[in-house]
Amino acid sequence: MDTTFIPVSLVIVPAIAAFLLLIFRGSKAKNFIVISASALIALGSLVLFFLNNMEGLIRFKLDIPGVSAGMLGIEIFMALFIIFIALRNGKSLVALLALIQVCLLTGFELRYGHALIVANDVFIDTFSVIMALIIGVIGTLIAVYSLGYMRSFHRLHAGEFPDRQPMFFFIIFVFLAAMFGIVFSNNLLWLYFFWEITTLSSFLLIGYKGNAESAQNAFRALLYNLIGGLFFAVAIVWMHFFAGTIEMDKLMVMHKAVVMFPVMLLCFAGLTKSAQLPFSSWLVGAMVAPSPVSALLHSSTMVKAGVYLIVRFAGVLEGTVVGLMIALVGGITFLLTTFIAVSQSDAKKVLAYSTIANLGLIVMCAGIGTYQAVWAAILLIIFHAVAKGLLFLCVGVIEHKLHSRDIEDMTGLIIKMPKMSIMLQVGMAGMFLAPFGMLISKWAVLRALVDYNPLLTIFLVFGSSATLFFWVKWMGQLLCVLKEEEDDETGISRAEWMPLTTLTIFTVGVCAFFPLIAKTMIEPFIRQMYNATVTMGQGNIMIMLIMLAMVMLFPLSFFYYGKKVKVVDAYLSGANTAIGTSFTNSLGGATPMEMKNYYLKRYFQEEKLLRIGVAVCIFLMCAATFIFVS
């Protein structure tokens, strides 16, 4: 098979689907297009995986006349759109940033464009394939889920928000196309083009509701990502003049001193996109968007584009001061945002901070850049994408049923929505509990850190203790039952159930098949990049699998459910009323019992921790720049 066909069609198919969705607005047509396009994309990414397995590295130049001109045209159009909409909303800073970027790059391409020699526009190695699988499988599952979710979203909020579903699905698929573009591009001008598309798409998706709050948060996301875009644009221009190339694969093997500055700028761009401190607030604000958008931004797209870029240059960063600074930014982000998550009771906010924290870990690994660290980083990317996607989708459904996404309102969810709460718990277990994915990764990160510089483990050690705290108390709140209730999981469409079940199976599956995934996907990449490889010892894998098997047997204990036990009321200091869940208060009346989680707000203050984090991380970034300049 022609190796160019699959990668190109992975970008083209979602783009075509997007435009079809804009044209055919009927609900049946929409269902058909979304489902068939999703199936095609998922299939395409699987085929790409096998293709890469057989052929190894795929790289080629796409000799279609007018591609570059077309991209430039779209870029200018996007910039004009941003400037227009920013000025109309009085966001002059956003407009200014967009203007600078478009002038810089248009000028550059018009003046030097003909002199640019690019040997390969497209570069696909195993890492690109891993990313493509994440985008192609998890991204499309989220798109299918959106079908059901958006229908009930507009039914619940009828009259509150304008129904712009065709636009919504259009952007979702454009987003997927752009993500494939990012992970396949070798030509940095191309990468930048797709990068800017994701910036604009996320802006539009975050602002989907169209109310004041979402507009404000959308503009914040746009502002931060445009700052990142500016770093990116400057990096490209610099690279052309000082390194003489704008191809990623060439940059990665060049002398470190030559490429250090542009790589640093690209990493800064990656930091903005993956919402690291000091740029984290845009991702937290992005939770105003409908849940599938959050799922998409947090798990398979957007933030993963940021870490993708940084991990790409891990080899350059290895052993450099700039790399250490990036690693420290990641470490501090992990530590502080985990602490912040402890004090949050809004489920989506907890998830958002946990995403930022986990991306911090990935950034930390990439900044260190040793082969063990990169191995750990890729594990984190995979496991995080699956579990976090699942969590957001669960919270989306739960929010529609409970009309709240406060963790305190989820008390007793295990009997109110048993299936949903079990999926939610599987997702959470995937995020922090042995033997599931994120813990395997944490093991790998710890190993990588102690071999590189054990002092960096301090961030991980304190951070992961707090991680356990905030996940378990949420899990506990689901299990704890205040009063008997009927279970009610009606009104959840098949389009929502299917992705949820699939992702639940994946969350467990990626752990069970972890050795296989590591062997066929991650190790080839590491070997190719470093000529060395790392694996988890066979004995340790076996322990993990035994643990997994034991945990998976837990449901079996329910065969013993209610046997040989006598059910009594909870102990309420002997003052239980006849109802059993209330107690007699000092006035002789009945007070129902209540249980609320600890949030330790006095010790883990969001504003204070953010202030510290932003200051320290800006300092580190300045330090990195300063060290380079001097």
Partner 1 sequence: MHLFDVRGNFHFCLMKTLYLFILYLIGAPLVGAWLAGWDRRLSARLQSRVGPPILQPVYDVLKLTQKENMVVRRSQNFYIAYYLIFVIFTGALFFTGQDMLLIIFSLMLASVFFVLAGFKASSPYSFIGAQRELVQIMAYEPAVIFAAIGMYMVTGTFEVSKLAQTNHWLILSLPGIFFAYLFILAMKLRKSPFDISTSHHGHQEVVKGITTEFSGKALAMIEVAHWYETTFILGIVYLFFAKSVVAGLSAALAAYVFMVFVDNAFARVKWPLALASSWIVAFLCGAGNMIWLFFTRH
Interface residues toward partner 1, by CB under 8 A: 433-435, 439, 442-443, 446-447, 450, 453-455, 457-458, 461-462, 464-466, 468-469, 472-473, 475-477, 479-482, 537-540, 542-544, 546-547, 550-551, 554, 557-558, 560-562, 564-572, 593-595, 597-598, 600, 603
**273: enclosing H helix or E strand:** helix 256-273
**CA 415 to chain centroid:** 30
Dist CA 284 CA 298 (whole Å): 10
**Cβ-based nearer residue to partner 1, 557 or 630:** 557
Q: Radius of gyration over alpha carbons of the chain, in Å?
A: 25
Q: How far is the CB of 555 from partner 1 (least distance, A)?
A: 9
Q: Give the nearest distance from C-beta 577 to partner 1 in angstroms.
A: 14
Instruction: Name the residue nearer to partner 1 (CB basis): 316 or 335.
Output: 335
As to burial, measured by CB atoms within 10 angstroms (0-12 exposed, 13-18 middle, 19+ buried), residue 554 is exposed
Of 195 and 452, the one with the shorter C-beta distance to partner 1 is: 452
CA 37/CA 50 separation, integer angstroms: 20
Choose between 61 and 519: whose C-beta lies nearer to partner 1: 519
Cα gap 21→200, rounded to integer Å: 18
For residues 158 and 567, which CB has a smaller minimum distance to partner 1 in the complex? 567
Query: Smallest gap, in angstroms, from Cβ of residue 299 to partner 1?
Result: 24
Instruction: Extract the tokens encoding 187.
Output: 């030509």
Closest to partner 1 by CB, 558 or 626:
558
Question: CB-hemisphere CA count at 13 Å for 397?
Answer: 33
Q: How far is the CB of 329 from partner 1 (least distance, A)?
A: 20
Q: How many CB atoms lie within 10 A of CB 235?
A: 24
What would you measure as the largest C-alpha separation in the chain, in angstroms?
88
Cα separation, 401 vs 423, whole angstroms? 15
Q: Is the peptide bond before 555 cis (omega within 30 degrees of 0)?
A: no
Query: Nearest to residue 453, comparing CAs of 353, 509, 547, 369?
Result: 369
Q: Do 314 and 372 meet the contact criterion of CB atoms below 8 Å apart? A: no
What is the smallest separation between the CB atom of 442 and partner 1, expressed in angstroms? 8
Of 84 and 598, nearer to partner 1 (C-beta) is: 598
Distance of closest approach, residue 583 Cβ to partner 1, in angstroms = 9
Q: Judge if the upstream peptide bond of residue 278 is cis by omega within 30 degrees of 0.
A: yes
In this structure, are strands 582-584 and 590-592 parallel, antiparallel, or unpaired?
antiparallel
Nearer to partner 1, 64 or 595 (CB): 595
Q: Name the E strands within 74-169.
A: 122-124
Closest approach of partner 1 to the CB of residue 448, in Å: 12
* Minimum distance, C-beta of residue 311 to partner 1, in the bound complex (Å): 23
- Reading the block at residue 11, the tokens are 């970008």
In angstroms, what CA-CA distances link 153 with 130, 361, 440, 555?
Answer: 32, 34, 36, 33
Tokens (6 digits) for 615: 């200051």
Q: What is the SS3 assignment for 425? A: helix
Closer residue to partner 1 in complex, CB, 90/537: 537
CA distance 626 to 276: 20
Shortest gap between Cβ of 334 and partner 1 (angstroms)? 14
Nearer to partner 1, 163 or 408 (CB): 408
